Structure 1
Amino acid sequence: MIIYQANKREFLHHALREDIEDIIAGHYRSATGHGAGSSEVQAWKHSLLEMAKVLQDDEIPADAGIAIEYQLPQSAKRIDFLIAGEDDEARSKLIIVELKQWSTSRRSEKDAIVWARRGGRSGEREGTHPSYQAWSYAAYLQDFNSALQDGAVAVQPCAYLHNHPRDGEIDHPHYREHIARAPLFLARERARLQAFIREHVRHGDRRGALYAIEHGRIRPTKMLADSVAGMLRGKTEFVMIDEQKVVYETVLAVEMQAERRKQVVIVQGGPGTGKSVLAVNLLAALLARHRNARYVSKNAAPRAVYEAKLTGTFTKTRISNLFSGSGAFVDAAPDTYDTLIVDEAHRLNEKSGLYRNMGDNQISEVIRAARCTVFFVDDDQRVTIHDIGHAEELRRHAAACGAEVTELELSSQFRCNGSDGYLAWLDHSLDIRETANQTLDTREYDFRVFDDPKQMHALIELKNQVNNRSRVVAGYCWKWLSKKDPQAWDIELPGFDYRRRWNLDKDGSLWIVTPGSVEQIGCIHTCQGLELDYVGVIIGPDLAYRDGRIVSDATRRAPSDQSVKGLKRLLESSPEDAGKLADSIVKNTYRTLMTRGMKGCYVYCADPALAEYLRSRLSSSRPGGADADDAATAVATACNVLSLRKVSESERASGTPALPVVDLRFAAGAFSDMQVLEDGAVDWVVPPDWIRPQPGMFVAQVVGESMNRRIPNHAWCLFRAAPSGTREGKVVVVQHRDIADPDTGGRYTIKVYSSEKLATDEGNWRHRRIILKPDTDHPGYGPIVLELADDQEHLHVVAEFLMVIPHDAP
């Protein structure tokens, strides 16, 4: 998303003749739905005026593209300023400019870190060097955007600190490597920056580099589980940005001090802030330094998934030496390890062992066992009565062990589509804490409330077909009957003919990555600490909406749920504390479940009032498909057509690219006339961002199983009408009077085309027979054979199939 976009000429007019900060603020409000902070507006006012002075250079083309505040994909981070154009060899170039108003800074001994006043009242803080920041944003963008990956656009980052003198601190040789990758321009160096821009942008943005960046196909998000093997072999899988880099370098610096005094590092961060990515990166870095280090987690699911991904790359003994449960340090001698990295530290328990009767305290045991202990913690993900690893308890045990404590925080969101607003909305909506985010724009994050769990689960199953990264989870409010009887159903909602089983038996901790397990229901214990593309959440009767309030009831949990075991005893001794703890556990559980999805979260509520409450807090809600005749049709419609934004008549008139949506039942046979095709459109939609609309392209739904190896039933697909050239071996829409297609019920069909030709006396040829072959794993579908010796004029190849539109096409 680009907040402001123009060419150089237009930007200079706005910056020099109007109040550019007001223009940007207006664009920002329009794009995000809320206003920018006063400090950000002031930063725009001063820094953009300085960039206008830089661009007042006649040799920088007037039609160079300018973009301001570009939000990085799947992140809350934004690039300050971009300049697009072409170099001397007509190659598309994109210059990233990181702008800072600093007038002073101070060198840090850590790699790529510098001390500076970074806004607010906190004085100097450590953060990334502007050159590293610009480079990391460029590297991150290249990881995601296809236009950069295929070489269509080359990126050159730089940093401009227009108030900062050259003082030997910000430009110290310590930062030489980073400044080489992203040149640093300081006060009174406007001419140097102008020369740099001229070197890379000699012509305007004639090929639409900014359009390619804004609309280019977004590469699927990397998953930590898929990258862990490469990371432990020293491969850079994730570019660390801003606070992530600060935490990483600080932990490595603290670890060096552990020889003289025991060290404890507490890193706080919410869902999706990169805690687990940092934990594995740190493990890799420490192993490269030949440190005796381990990754520790109370939750077995992340360990099991990472270990499974390492099988075949590392030996079994090596893997077991890298990963450990939190109860493994009961008898460990002091300082056995150099560093223990504790992920999901909020899940630590007091006692260890199957019956929780071993050891003293897991926090103190872990601290005692290592010279340096790093805790990654989120207090709002404590989901059982036994979880004691909140930040205050970590501090207390660190002090008792005589450890020096360093506290750090991660705030940037790299999950939930990079939407910090979604997390704040969720906290407010679940009554965890009051925030300013009382409504959620579902364009920002794909959140939907369903009235039918069957439809929700069907949509998740469709999403899962793309890459096996979507699952359904639920609050632990149903008994685990299938544990003893594999044929029994655990979660039954008879009103919707919905029956599913818990996952806990067959796949165990690997459920979240096991192919086919999307049919089952996961719980908090098999998904916490892991991530999905899309998550479906069944909110059980332990959470409801009554008299204008969110009400929790932990007694509605299943008797086998260990998370609230001991609650009755606590209620007797301290009813007020027990009530608060139980309320926190229920709400934190659903907060955790509802933040597993990087791209979307779909919800069904056992309490209809809660469903209506959540739906009322959406500013762009979508129907759950309650009125559909069957789940498959509803899901196909919601998943495909609604995933492509509809285009209004006024938008089309103003030039917004759009494709017609047609109904093949009525349109077949009329596609040779483009005007008829357009007039017959039932809707118009924005195409997926990697498709450029061309004459004759249209979107239509394919119904039936005859082509399911290539085209799933009810899939929405891209076609080209009246195709030219050879048809042999292509999937086409064919119309003929002798066709009676079992799927379409009409005189047209969608099949693989092949033909037999007959030579004529004139030395030409004609079709003798057309064979239309299905491509399916369903029995009962045979080829349609058309004998055409005498009536070729009755056959029409209406359209050519191009592709199935992915369920999550942007």
Structure 2
Amino acid sequence: MLENTATTKLAPETKLSAQQQELKKRVLAFCEQHLIQQQTGLFVIQGAAGTGKSVVLSALMATLQRGRNDATSPFYQTNNYLLVNHPEMLKTYKQIAADQPYLRKKDFMKPTPFINQMAKQATTADIVLVDEAHLLLTKSDRYNRFNQENQLAEICKHSRVVILVFDTHQVLKMKSYWDQAKLAALIEAQPHEIFHLTQQFRVHANRATQQWLTALGTQGQLLPRPTDADFDLRIFADANFMYQQLCQRDHEYGLSRLVATADFPYKLDGNTYYVTAPGFKLPWDKNMDPNVTWAERPETLDEVGSIYTIQGFDLNYVAVILGPSVTYDAATQRLKLLPNNYQDHEAFKRRSDLTTQQSTQVKQQIILNSINVLLQRGRYGLYLYATDPQLRAKLLSL
């Protein structure tokens, strides 16, 4: 197997790059300074998918929690948490905690329970790390028992120091949409630092291939397909043949999975729903194991993953089906995104603070963000199939 499991990748002993080590050093110094001065602070870590943001957070959490029991440490007896609004990532962190004597499962939480617990106890955490902060809610959500208006604002209210990772190209729901002016105002309202991670660790490809993936996933731009001896980038005319090739990669290298945009019906009613294309039919991910992540279970090779099961995880090979919401505009030579065809209706829950035009633009951005998340999963290969005939023909012609 080329790539280890997600649990291994995020383990505290994972070796950091020079840039990641510098970031960890700066964050720890920031935390120590603000704890000594009894001053609130916000440290923002930015970086595209695959730049190792979660790896750094895991290493930071390990250092903080070791220091919690060390009388010589500046973090002695501190009360620290790591929050992530992503059930699959939370499973991974709790798995790690189970194997480390200085980590406790209860130190890893989803944001809403943390906010409600702090408010009920009228207490403040010392240091709070927030992974996948682009998934934080920016409006109330009664279904998730979040009654305030902004999860980041509430986390800051109940914490002395907050460290968060953020990528605007991974916002996946209207209720997590950030108005950039509001985000900037929240950051500027308190002492803060911003650090940009730039080195790509997931996609083992040359610069031209990385640019091709970034242009498609963040701009909807279709560049000429590059030649790359180290990265297996293929476009397929047939979804079933693509799946057969992916199964072969999984047999050879392991950790290879099929994923799709949220363009095929799905409901949480216990029934099985399918992703379909001519000559192809597989069920959506069932995600039935409460402890093991979807990508790490062998049987999920026979399912189709979604952005919600695969975001934040590395695969060796990923095959992506672009569904009916993803088409092609020959006039602009870019992707044309059709929100009416997108089946993740929860992602498009209406917001009263957006105009109709703004709402349409945000929906299109969410679809593009979901494409970006899916495209950036594979370390050694990406297989791509489009259900739209015009887009499929264009991709094959590149």
Query: Hey, what does 2:283 align to over in structure 1?
Result: 501
Note the 1:619-658 alignment, pairs <5 A. none
Q: Is structure 2 residue 236 aligned with structure 1 residue 450?
A: yes
1:366-396 deviation per Cα after TM superposition (whole angstroms, max 9, x unaligned)? 1122211111111111121112357654442
Note the 1:176-191 alignment, pairs <5 A. none
* Contact 2:112–2:146, Cα closer than 8 Å, also in 1: no
CA 1:224/1:578 → structure 2, altered by over 3 Å: closer, same or farther? same
Q: Counting helix residues as a fraction of each chain, which structure ranks higher?
A: 2
Query: Hey, what does 1:678 align to over in structure 2?
Result: none
CA 1:576/1:307 → structure 2, altered by over 3 Å: closer, same or farther? same
CA 1:328/1:396 → structure 2, altered by over 3 Å: closer, same or farther? farther
CA 1:241/1:506 → structure 2, altered by over 3 Å: closer, same or farther? closer
Shift of 1:483: 4.1
Structure 2: tracts of 5 or more residues without a match: 69-77
* Contact 1:378–1:390, Cα closer than 8 Å, also in 2: no
1:143-168 deviation per Cα after TM superposition (whole angstroms, max 9, x unaligned)? xxxxxxxxxxxxxxxxxxxxxxxxxx
SS for the counterpart of 2:311 is coil
CA 1:390/1:258 → structure 2, altered by over 3 Å: closer, same or farther? farther
Distance 1:344 1:275 in 2: 9
SS for the counterpart of 2:175 is coil
Query: Hey, what does 2:28 align to over in structure 1?
Result: 252
| One-letter amino acid of the structure 2 residue matched with residue 603 of structure 1 | L
Largest Rg, 1 or 2: 1
Note the 1:350-429 alignment, pairs <5 A. 350=138, 351-355=140-144, 357-388=146-177, 393-400=182-189, 403-429=190-216
Distance 1:277 1:434 in 2: 30
Shift of 1:428: 2.3
Distance 2:80 2:206 in 1: 33
1:201-226 deviation per Cα after TM superposition (whole angstroms, max 9, x unaligned)? xxxxxxxxxxxxxxxxxx93445422
Structure 1: tracts of 5 or more residues without a match: 1-218, 618-810
SS for the counterpart of 2:112 is coil
1:671-719 deviation per Cα after TM superposition (whole angstroms, max 9, x unaligned)? xxxxxxxxxxxxxxxxxxxxxxxxxxxxxxxxxxxxxxxxxxxxxxxxx
CA 1:319/1:527 → structure 2, altered by over 3 Å: closer, same or farther? farther
Query: Hey, what does 2:370 align to over in structure 1?
Result: 589
Query: Hey, what does 1:322 align to over in structure 2?
Result: 107
* Contact 2:209–2:228, Cα closer than 8 Å, also in 1: no
Match of 1:440 among 201, 206, 226: 226
* Contact 1:470–1:534, Cα closer than 8 Å, also in 2: yes
Distance 1:594 1:480 in 2: 21
Query: Hey, what does 1:555 align to over in structure 2?
Result: 340
Match of 1:237 among 2, 14, 17: 14
CA 1:472/1:613 → structure 2, altered by over 3 Å: closer, same or farther? same
CA 1:370/1:419 → structure 2, altered by over 3 Å: closer, same or farther? farther
CA 1:267/1:228 → structure 2, altered by over 3 Å: closer, same or farther? closer
Shift of 1:482: 8.4
Q: Is structure 2 residue 392 aligned with structure 1 residue 603?
A: no
* Contact 2:311–2:374, Cα closer than 8 Å, also in 1: yes
Query: Hey, what does 1:42 align to over in structure 2?
Result: none
CA 1:270/1:452 → structure 2, altered by over 3 Å: closer, same or farther? same
Query: Hey, what does 1:521 align to over in structure 2?
Result: 304
1:404-450 deviation per Cα after TM superposition (whole angstroms, max 9, x unaligned)? 11011011111110545434212323561779x65422435211111
Query: Hey, what does 2:358 align to over in structure 1?
Result: 577
| One-letter amino acid of the structure 2 residue matched with residue 469 of structure 1 | L
Superposition CA RMSD, Å = 2.7
Match of 1:540 among 323, 329, 332: 323
Shift of 1:273: 0.7
Shift of 1:462: 2.0
- Count of residues in Structure 1 that have an aligned counterpart in Structure 2: 380
Work out which structure has the larger RCO, using CA pairs closer than 8 Å and 6 or more positions apart in sequence.
2
Match of 2:94 among 307, 310, 331: 307
1:566-596 deviation per Cα after TM superposition (whole angstroms, max 9, x unaligned)? 27x78xx622212211111111101110101
Query: Hey, what does 2:46 align to over in structure 1?
Result: 268
CA 1:256/1:481 → structure 2, altered by over 3 Å: closer, same or farther? closer
CA 1:482/1:457 → structure 2, altered by over 3 Å: closer, same or farther? farther
CA 1:335/1:265 → structure 2, altered by over 3 Å: closer, same or farther? farther
Distance 1:328 1:372 in 2: 18
TM-score when normalising by structure 2: 0.86
1:165-202 deviation per Cα after TM superposition (whole angstroms, max 9, x unaligned)? xxxxxxxxxxxxxxxxxxxxxxxxxxxxxxxxxxxxxx
Match of 1:344 among 128, 132, 135: 132
TM-score when normalising by structure 1: 0.44
CA 1:224/1:536 → structure 2, altered by over 3 Å: closer, same or farther? same
Distance 2:254 2:104 in 1: 25
| One-letter amino acid of the structure 2 residue matched with residue 416 of structure 1 | V
Note the 1:585-734 alignment, pairs <5 A. 585-617=366-398
Identity of matched residues, %: 23
